[in-house]
Amino acid sequence: MRVQCGVGTVEDCLAFKERLRSLWRRYVLTGNLAPDPEIRPEIYASWRRCKEAGVNPLQKVVPKVLDGAALAGRRARAARLIEIARPVMENLYRFVAGSGFMVVLADAQGVLLEIVGDPETVASAARGNFCAGADWSETVAGTNAVGTCLVTGQPLQVFSYEHYCICSHRWCCSAAPIFDPRGNLLGAIDMTGTFEKVHSHTLGMVVAAAHAIGNQLALHEALAASEAANEFKAAVFEAVSDGLMVVDRAGRVTHLNPVAARILGLRAPDVTGRRVAEVLGASNTQLLRLITGAGTEGVSDWEVGIRTPSGGNRCLVTCRPVREGHGEPLGLVVILKEIGRVKRVVQRMAGARAYYTFEQIVGRNPRFRQTVELARTAAGSPSNVLLVGESGTGKELFAQAIHNASVRRSGPFVALNCAAVPRELIASELFGYAEGAFTGARKGGNPGKFELADGGTIFLDEIGEMPPELQAVLLRVLEERSVVRVGGSEVIPVDVRVIAASNTDLRAAVERGTFRKDLFYRLNVITIEMIPLRERKDDLPLLCRAFLSRANARLGKNLQGLDPAVERLFAEYAWPGNVRELSNVIEYAANVSRGPSITVEDLPVQFRRGDGEGPREAGLAGSLVDFERSLISATLARHAGNKTRAARDLGIARSTLYRKLKKKPLQG
């Protein structure tokens, strides 16, 4: 039977030591020892590794000791391990203090980092370089508990002559590897004393200490991860662009981010721990009802007016319950989205912006340039503007240019064609609607064009088509600078500049009683009369070049210009659809053209007639109105009576086409 280390009396240990001494000499010094039952397999395997590595078994000191700087670097890299292991080492040493033992910590390469022990024992071991900075890896110091357990990854006790080198034969070492939470080897903890002091419990104590260090490392890592996660969550909570308020199940405010503090007019340190009802006060009962009534499902996107000592704000409020697993709610997260920010996002998504500037308006005609200069003057004024003129003369282009040259250029530009919206919907389009205003109304209501245009410009095209009953509402909005949504009662302030446009005579409409006189004068502060194309034909070459360049870019073509015959036709044409019609004709011709330039054959059919009914001013029964009727009739015929397509082809609103059709029956 093999005698186990630490088992039996001192006499047993001495006897076992002598047998090991004989076996060590036979194998280590002669190298002819076959595996022997007296030698543990892990020791025998280590001896073989040491012989293959060329370790000198007769060395009296370990040959490799780091200098001060190198040791300091090692200790710095292992700082967390040392910090956690040191209390465990001191606690372990207290059990054996005064009995000739020392406790040692080594890194994963076998370099000794820390030693705690009886001074005499520490001094004695240091004579063989068992000291801080010494390399006790197996390939340097031979078989030893520290170096060999790092190789095997298993706890190990090495007794006297089981050590490969003579410098360790008077010692018994017990060591256990230390692993991090992911199983990576970090180092080893060791307890060393003279061989006659060995005990079977020594290794167990060391193993327990190694486990304690590993557990502390895991706890430390989990705590660090938790702190990092909390710091990250706190950073996100502070950085999020919406207002966030957390209320616990007892109704107390636990967190308030800076945005929510600003919206509510509060300071986080002043409200943390207080009841939400006390924090919000009596002026915010609607918000408080949402929070207290959110229940287990929460509420989403309710529009609420927030009242603060310094004013107020409008927000979309969402309340989300916070649960632990699938249990009862632990509290509530209240999300406050400022309506102004929401509107800006909607405006960007909906394209509520002006694209054209005065630099993009083409024309040198003197009257036209006067119109442009008047528009520039209007851009520098906050007054309302009324653009009057025929369809297709560029009223919206002028409206966008005025907006982009004004102080409101960074705000939204929202356009609405009053004739294109069904009569029963125009009120909700302009002024929005409250929740429950009608069947199918969106939950929480919906803002109208005036709210979306807040801080910018609203362009009301074909204002003359607005129903009389809404004209009074629009007048009140312009005078009071606020709106009340359809079906609602809350007064919502709006800061909007109005640019209106009409292709009909609004003065005549006022005289007929179909347009309110007071609204007309409210809108008619700066009136700009648009010049029809037939009165600025000297601009035709400039406009044709501009439209052809745009068509080339869109269609990937390289048309060089217009055939002289086309230029003559254009000069003789009345252009009832004005600049819009010219743009459409050029784009049509560019699409069908196969040559280097646009010819008569590329033009729409009304330009290619050979029966004397071509588009000449003198050949249209002497009347522009007759020409317009002929053009509409021909366009309807081309689209098989489809009025929507005909209106699109003519460049006018469908309601305008209907109005023109009612004036006099068309033939064909």
If DSSP states are collapsed to H, E and C, what string results for 517-555? HHHHHHHCCEEEECCCHHHCHHHHHHHHHHHHHHHHHHH
Compute the distance between CA of residue 89 and CA of residue 82 in angstroms, rounded to an integer: 10
Are 308 and 196 part of one and the same domain?
no
pTM over 0.85: no
Q: What is the mean pLDDT of residues 158-174?
A: 93
Domain membership of residue 235 (yes or no) is: no
Asked if residues 128 and 44 have their Cβ atoms less than 8 Å apart, the reply is no
Instruction: Measure the CA–CA gap between 509 and 15, rounded to whole angstroms.
Output: 127
User: Is the pLDDT assigned to residue 348 strictly greater than 60?
Assistant: no
Q: Are residues 548 and 641 in the same domain?
A: yes
Same domain, yes or no: 158 and 137: yes
- Whether residue 566 lies inside any domain: the answer is yes
Lookup: tokens for 53: 């590595």
Predicted confidence (pLDDT) per residue in 51-86, tens digit? 999 999 999 999 999 999 999 999 999 999 999 999
Asked if residue 30 is part of any domain, the answer here is yes
Domain end among 512, 529, 546: 529
User: Can you tell me the mean pLDDT for 238-262?
Assistant: 87
Instruction: List the beta bridge partners of residue 388.
Output: 502, 529
Token readout for 76 is 């710095």
**Strand pairing partners for 417?**
461
pLDDT tens per residue across span 17-34: 888 888 888 888 777 666
Average pLDDT over residues 566-586: 89
Q: Of 292-306, 354-368, 569-583, where does mean pLDDT reach its minimum? A: 292-306
From CA 157, how far away is CA 229, in angstroms rounded?
42
Listed residues 529, 544, 574: the one ending a domain: 529
| Angle, CA of 50, 56 and 61, to the nearest 5° | 115
Q: Read off the pLDDT band of 16 (50, 70, 90).
A: confident
Q: What is the rounded CA–CA span in Å between residue 206 and residue 149?
A: 12
Top mean pLDDT of 198-207, 335-344, 608-617 is at 198-207
pLDDT at 618: 40
Mean pLDDT of 577-600: 89
The residue range of the domain holding 296 is 240-339
DSSP code of residue 3: P
CATH of the domain at 187: 3.30.450.40
Same-domain status, 655 and 547: yes
Segment 88-126, tens digit of pLDDT: 999 999 988 888 899 999 999 999 999 999 999 999 999
Q: Are residues 260 and 167 in the same domain?
A: no
471 within domain boundaries: yes
**3-state secondary structure (DSSP) of residue 117:** strand
Residue 3: pLDDT band by 50, 70, 90 thresholds?
very low
Backbone angles phi, psi at 539, to 5 degrees: -90, -5
CATH number of residue 298's parent domain? 3.30.450.20
Q: Looking at the domain assignment, is residue 668 inside a domain?
A: no
Q: Residue 502: which of 491, 490, 484, 514 has the closest Cα?
A: 514
Q: What is the pLDDT of residue 13?
A: 67
pLDDT confidence of residue 619? 40
Percent of the chain with pLDDT over 90: 40
> 217: pLDDT confidence band, cut at 50, 70 and 90?
very high
β-pair partners for 317 = 302, 336
Q: Six-digit token pair at 11?
A: 């006499």
**Residue 152 confidence (pLDDT) above 90:** yes
Which run of H or of E encompasses 86? helix 79-96
Q: How many residues does the structure list for the chain?
A: 668
Q: Is residue 4 part of a domain?
A: no
Q: How far apart (Å, rounded) are the C-alpha atoms in residues 149 and 500?
A: 89
Asked if the model's pLDDT at residue 500 lies above 90, the reply is yes
Same domain? 513 vs 650? no
- CATH number, domain of 512, equals 3.40.50.300
Task: Identify whether residues 552 and 511 lie together within a single domain.
Answer: no
Residue 228 lies in a domain: no
Question: What is d(CA 14, CA 17) in angstroms, rounded to the nearest whole number?
Answer: 5
Is 577:392 a contact under the CB 8 Å cutoff? yes
Pairwise CA distance, residues 293 & 285, whole Å: 12
Does residue 183 share a domain with residue 66?
yes
Q: At which of 494, 529, 564 does a domain end?
A: 529
Same-domain status, 200 and 59: yes
489 and 357: one domain? yes
Classify residue 344: in a domain, yes or no: no
Contact at 8 Å (CB) between 279 and 334? no
Number of domains in the chain: 4
Q: For the CA atoms of 613, 619, 622, 623, what is the dihedral angle to 10 degrees?
A: 50
Residue 228, Cβ density class (10 Å: 0-12 exposed, 13-18 middle, ≥19 buried):
exposed
Looking at the fold, whether 140 and 117 belong to one and the same domain comes out as: yes
* 355 and 499 part of one domain: yes
